[in-house]
Structure 1
């Protein structure tokens, strides 16, 4: 029997373990899977927001949604509210919402084009015109109806969750399913003929056929097989540090069903509400700000009267491996690459990496064409994600600090995006613009939310019959009117989770 050794726990290690075990060992055991986790090295555990596709991962693993949410202090995430990414309009701070739901069908013309041609930008945001989730959050609702199945709702949604608790939850589920948990600290890696033969730990030497490197930015295993294997994205994404603060939920203590991403002087701040607390952080460029200055700015932004629970400073290595799979070692999670957490893609990239690994590994542990194909896809996915994040910065008109004055220049590091922005000055952003790309999660619909949210509209010369326009938006309004009464308030849904896991009957 082949042996897979996963070195490192946390989200990457345990997501990899539970996925590979489910994929290969559910019907018949094909691999013996070990997770070698050091009790002395903690997980970073800062990323607490997800994209909506993580539901598919949890569902495929056979997990119970309410159990998952209860054990990770999770809340529902319908999207991200961006604030202050452009200059204010008078006394009004610039704001737009990037939701998870897709734009609804229009009629003779798509609803996005209808919004542009109807000159509605002066009276409503783009997301308000095309997104049901945008209306849900206005009314304090979430996409879960009373009879929604696990991991299903009336619109797509993700989660806010405690990453450390999620790692522990997945560890328990993986071990119950047959994964071997080895508590040991790796001190050396034995290499021969371009392969990892074993890892040396304080509990002895452990050999295997395939090694998955989940050791975070250290890349403890993959670096031993290939030096100079990292491509930095610092020229396009200069934010390389973060300060993370946990605090008590502010205000009335009701968690919001969306993430806040507010632009500050030298980067941006996240605010993520769990049932137990709020996770906050400031992602910034260390060439313009010291850690102590960043912490002070974040504390001022949050309010000095906040009940702060903890503070942690983090170094971020933004970029990716040139080769993720080298010899018999595959780097997953931070060991493979990292894009700053603006669109909450950390867990998504783990899901993507391990899902691809499973399908490629099914053809053999040591098949060069499979390694080459895997590496090409993963490189493309990180490049695609990089340019989507750059889009958020490149569209700003802020010039109040050196950081924001330099933001637009990052566009030159993404030639495809630079060219497309020229094209999108004269036509809508549409699906065919991405044909042949590596888009894994963010499509033309997501690009439009950012483009139009940042007031980057195409100059269209056609006109639209007013009756067509009225019909399109009347149908959307009717759909909103049908959906909203079917949904629970976010607070109500979270209470049903708590009550169900406590053995109660829920809220009536």
Structure 2
């Protein structure tokens, strides 16, 4: 058994995936494993994974990362929601918030009572009953925190907040992806990680088993390992080019396959949400950091050219200075048929890509790293463990994929791409979810699913699904009781939000970025 034991781990590739993996493994297994990361400064990263979801906060706590230190280092801003603009039809907007909405009962969810109130003529939006949506609309943000930087605000409005029976604001981050990789790399230093600079020229395999034995670099250096983590991005140097694992393409459901990315300086204060703005052949993102805006034009090459996409993106920011010139990011939505094949585990873009719409790319890396830590094969590769890892990974990806498809399918736009999406055949599980909601307004979250009931509810209603019926129990409330219920949720939210500072003001006090950090980064990307 000793000869099969895993003691040497080699991470191929850096970027967010590589350094997050290195940070997690060195934090958990620094005394048990010999961990080496191989990367080349000459090989660029995609560099557009700048928006996250709240699960990253849990991951950071596990790694004992201080939030304020992290936010200063990555020029970060906070994120309460995603603003979906023009997705149902041009000119319409809704928020997909991270927080809970209203108060659910065991037999009937809050949105069912809201639908009943609408039937009685009450004029309100579902987002009125969600703290995160209400704060995002007004560009406000604060934490339930008694630190020196926020104590004044906390003491002033925590008393109101406790009436919401909430222990925290649900939020995530926007950050500079390149600075995040540097931050995670610095965390690894001193924990025994060995970093090797160099390009991989050859991958050597065992002639009998096909297991990867070593990486040969261009300078002739040989890096041997027992387990290899493929973080080489879309090319999948180990998982695909070497092991020929295969790829399952999802382009039939997700039509966009290219993006133009760009970075600009702007004087406009950063908003505490990601903007996802639909256009005739896809959508564009707007992610506001402390020092710049990351923006991109996601599109289908069947419906728009690279030049047209680049021109349209630049036209959205005519007066803003470029931090980084536009660059093309081709991608292919789908997944490797196995994320774990032989002694190679693919993470990040080497494993899968669903597209950036719901900001799940970094989450999927964090989730996969966590799964690997929990199932780590110290005593040797077990096919049963690899099979379980692959099944959980596949189920997670398919759930997220279906939620993304929902946004494309539920539209009322007139352009050819959008008509195609509206008429496409859906995965059966997604088709069932939509139909059940159309019939009864019933939504659910499976045990191991990422997106919550509130996520499905806000997005289906926001995309124009009008339930034919809602729960009959809601009709038992008198008009007075219905007002008491709705006002009991909304009034405390309105009071709390009114006392929250503007997002920019909170950033200035809580986690101002050091200009020298991002100015140095700018000099390395411009010109």
TM-score, length of structure 1 as denominator length: 0.90
- 2:439 corresponds in structure 1 to 426
- 2:204 corresponds in structure 1 to 190
Q: Distance in 2 between matches of 1:233 and 1:81?
A: 25
Q: Distance in 2 between matches of 1:248 and 1:402?
A: 34
- 1:505 corresponds in structure 2 to none
Does the CA contact (< 8 Å) of 1:244 and 1:313 recur in 2? yes
Q: Which of 333, 342, 345 is equivalent to 1:318?
A: 333
Q: Which of 231, 238, 250 is equivalent to 1:221?
A: 238
Q: Which of 217, 230, 246 is equivalent to 1:201?
A: 217
Q: Which of 43, 50, 74 is equivalent to 1:41?
A: 43
Q: Which of 357, 379, 388 is equivalent to 1:373?
A: 388
Q: Distance in 1 between matches of 2:328 and 2:174?
A: 21
- 1:172 corresponds in structure 2 to 186
Deviations along 1:126-170, one digit per CA (max 9) or x if unpaired, are 222x210111123331142452699x9831100110001100110
Change (3 A) 1:226 1:32: same
Change (3 A) 1:179 1:48: same
Q: Distance in 2 between matches of 1:435 and 1:153?
A: 24
Change (3 A) 1:48 1:286: same
SS in 2 for 1:119: helix
Does the CA contact (< 8 Å) of 2:7 and 2:378 recur in 1? no
Does the CA contact (< 8 Å) of 2:78 and 2:172 recur in 1? yes
Unaligned runs of 5+ in 1: 503-508
- 1:466 corresponds in structure 2 to 479
Residue 73 (structure 2) pairs with residue 75 (structure 1): no
SS in 1 for 2:263: strand
Change (3 A) 1:106 1:349: closer
Shift of 1:220: 0.2
Q: Distance in 2 between matches of 1:67 and 1:273?
A: 19
Shift of 1:485: 5.5
Q: Which moved more, 1:233-242 or 1:134-143?
A: 134-143
Deviations along 1:356-400, one digit per CA (max 9) or x if unpaired, are 01111156441111000000011111111110000001110111x
SS in 1 for 2:438: coil
- 1:454 corresponds in structure 2 to 463
Deviations along 1:259-304, one digit per CA (max 9) or x if unpaired, are 111101100010010000111101100111110011122223x143
- 2:127 corresponds in structure 1 to 127
SS in 2 for 1:159: strand
Residue 15 (structure 2) pairs with residue 6 (structure 1): no
RMSD: 2.3
SS in 2 for 1:429: coil
Does the CA contact (< 8 Å) of 1:246 and 1:308 recur in 2? yes
- 1:443 corresponds in structure 2 to 452
- 2:176 corresponds in structure 1 to 162
Q: Distance in 2 between matches of 1:60 and 1:177?
A: 16
- 2:369 corresponds in structure 1 to 354
Deviations along 1:418-477, one digit per CA (max 9) or x if unpaired, are 12212211212333xx446x51x2122210010111221322263343223212111112
Q: Distance in 2 between matches of 1:281 and 1:420?
A: 31
Shift of 1:221: 0.6
Q: Distance in 1 between matches of 2:376 and 2:409?
A: 39
Q: Which moved more, 1:239-248 or 1:363-372?
A: 363-372
Does the CA contact (< 8 Å) of 2:141 and 2:501 recur in 1? yes
SS in 2 for 1:473: helix
Alignment of 1:16-415 (within 5 A): 16-25=21-30, 29-88=31-90, 93-106=91-104, 109-119=108-118, 123-128=123-128, 130-145=129-144, 147=146, 154-192=168-206, 193-203=209-219, 204-227=221-244, 229-249=246-266, 252-300=267-315, 302-309=316-323, 310-361=325-376, 364-399=379-414, 401-410=415-424, 412-415=425-428
Q: Distance in 2 between matches of 1:371 and 1:377?
A: 10
Unaligned runs of 5+ in 2: 1-5, 150-165, 516-527
Change (3 A) 1:153 1:36: farther
SS in 2 for 1:190: strand
> Which structure is richer in relative contact order (CA contacts within 8 A, separation 6 or more)?
2
Q: Distance in 1 between matches of 2:228 and 2:256?
A: 31
SS in 2 for 1:171: helix
Does the CA contact (< 8 Å) of 1:154 and 1:483 recur in 2? no
SS in 1 for 2:440: coil
Aligned length: 485
Shift of 1:253: 2.3
Does the CA contact (< 8 Å) of 1:200 and 1:206 recur in 2? yes
Q: Distance in 2 between matches of 1:321 and 1:363?
A: 24
Does the CA contact (< 8 Å) of 1:196 and 1:329 recur in 2? yes
Does the CA contact (< 8 Å) of 1:214 and 1:332 recur in 2? yes
Shift of 1:501: 7.4
SS in 2 for 1:206: strand
Q: Which of 472, 484, 494 is equivalent to 2:497?
A: 484
SS in 2 for 1:221: helix
TM-score, length of structure 2 as denominator length: 0.87
Q: Distance in 2 between matches of 1:349 and 1:32?
A: 25
